Amino acid sequence: MAKYEVNITSQEELEEQWKDSNCPNLSFCFKEKTLDECVKVNDTTYRATYESWEPTAAKTFTYLDMINGGEKTYTLQPGEYGVKPS
Protein backbone atom coordinates (compact mmCIF):
# COMPACT_ATOMS: atom_id res chain seq x y z
CA MET A 1 0.00 0.00 0.00
CA ALA A 2 1.20 3.46 -0.88
CA LYS A 3 0.15 6.30 1.41
CA TYR A 4 -1.17 9.56 -0.02
CA GLU A 5 -1.98 12.98 1.42
CA VAL A 6 -4.49 15.33 -0.21
CA ASN A 7 -5.42 18.90 0.70
CA ILE A 8 -9.16 19.41 1.10
CA THR A 9 -11.36 22.33 2.15
CA SER A 10 -14.63 20.86 3.44
CA GLN A 11 -16.33 17.99 5.25
CA GLU A 12 -18.19 17.20 2.02
CA GLU A 13 -14.90 16.76 0.19
CA LEU A 14 -13.63 14.52 3.00
CA GLU A 15 -16.72 12.29 2.67
CA GLU A 16 -16.36 11.82 -1.10
CA GLN A 17 -15.70 8.34 -2.42
CA TRP A 18 -13.99 7.60 -5.70
CA LYS A 19 -13.74 4.70 -8.11
CA ASP A 20 -10.82 3.27 -10.03
CA SER A 21 -11.86 2.41 -13.59
CA ASN A 22 -9.44 -0.56 -13.51
CA CYS A 23 -11.12 -1.95 -10.40
CA PRO A 24 -14.91 -2.15 -10.96
CA ASN A 25 -17.42 -2.45 -8.14
CA LEU A 26 -15.06 -1.11 -5.42
CA SER A 27 -14.97 2.37 -3.86
CA PHE A 28 -12.15 4.14 -2.08
CA CYS A 29 -12.19 6.89 0.57
CA PHE A 30 -10.11 8.89 3.02
CA LYS A 31 -9.09 7.37 6.36
CA GLU A 32 -10.34 10.35 8.39
CA LYS A 33 -14.07 10.74 9.00
CA THR A 34 -14.17 14.34 10.30
CA LEU A 35 -12.10 17.46 9.66
CA ASP A 36 -11.01 17.34 13.31
CA GLU A 37 -9.08 14.14 12.50
CA CYS A 38 -7.19 15.87 9.65
CA VAL A 39 -4.04 17.97 9.94
CA LYS A 40 -5.02 21.63 9.70
CA VAL A 41 -2.86 23.35 7.06
CA ASN A 42 -4.42 26.82 7.48
CA ASP A 43 -7.82 28.40 8.21
CA THR A 44 -9.44 26.90 5.10
CA THR A 45 -7.34 23.84 4.21
CA TYR A 46 -6.93 20.42 5.81
CA ARG A 47 -4.78 17.42 4.90
CA ALA A 48 -6.60 14.09 4.50
CA THR A 49 -4.92 10.73 3.94
CA TYR A 50 -5.67 7.46 2.20
CA GLU A 51 -3.89 4.30 1.13
CA SER A 52 -4.07 2.65 -2.26
CA TRP A 53 -4.59 -1.08 -2.53
CA GLU A 54 -1.77 -3.16 -4.02
CA PRO A 55 -2.53 -6.88 -4.33
CA THR A 56 0.64 -8.90 -4.86
CA ALA A 57 -1.17 -11.77 -6.57
CA ALA A 58 -4.14 -11.92 -8.94
CA LYS A 59 -7.51 -11.57 -7.14
CA THR A 60 -10.81 -12.81 -8.59
CA PHE A 61 -14.11 -11.18 -7.64
CA THR A 62 -17.69 -12.14 -8.42
CA TYR A 63 -20.62 -9.77 -7.89
CA LEU A 64 -24.28 -9.52 -8.82
CA ASP A 65 -25.01 -7.42 -11.90
CA MET A 66 -28.01 -5.46 -10.65
CA ILE A 67 -28.63 -3.79 -14.04
CA ASN A 68 -28.36 -6.71 -16.46
CA GLY A 69 -28.95 -9.59 -14.07
CA GLY A 70 -26.69 -12.52 -13.41
CA GLU A 71 -23.18 -12.44 -12.04
CA LYS A 72 -20.00 -10.75 -13.25
CA THR A 73 -16.56 -12.14 -12.53
CA TYR A 74 -13.31 -10.30 -13.06
CA THR A 75 -9.70 -10.78 -12.06
CA LEU A 76 -7.45 -7.94 -10.90
CA GLN A 77 -3.80 -8.38 -11.70
CA PRO A 78 -1.11 -7.35 -9.22
CA GLY A 79 -0.73 -3.59 -9.21
CA GLU A 80 -1.88 -0.41 -7.52
CA TYR A 81 -5.57 0.47 -7.33
CA GLY A 82 -7.58 3.28 -5.78
CA VAL A 83 -5.36 6.28 -6.50
CA LYS A 84 -7.57 9.37 -6.22
CA PRO A 85 -7.95 11.25 -9.52
CA SER A 86 -6.68 14.83 -9.42
Question: Where are the domains positioned within the chain?
Answer: 3-76
For residues 16 and 60, what is the distance between their CA atoms, to the nearest angstrom? 26
Q: What is the pLDDT of residue 1?
A: 84
pLDDT given for residue 55 in this prediction: 95
Full pLDDT tens readout for the chain, 86 residues? 899 999 999 999 999 999 999 887 889 999 999 999 999 999 999 999 999 999 999 999 998 988 999 998 999 999 999 999 98
What pLDDT sits at residue 25?
81
* pLDDT recorded at residue 23: 87
Burial call 46-77: b when 16+ CB within 10 Å, e when fewer = bebebebbeeeeeeeeeeeeeeeeeeeeeebe
The answer to whether the beta carbons of residues 41 and 35 sit under 8 Å apart is: no
Q: Answer whether 13's CB lies under 8 Å from 7's CB.
A: no
Using DSSP, state whether 44 is helix, strand or coil. coil
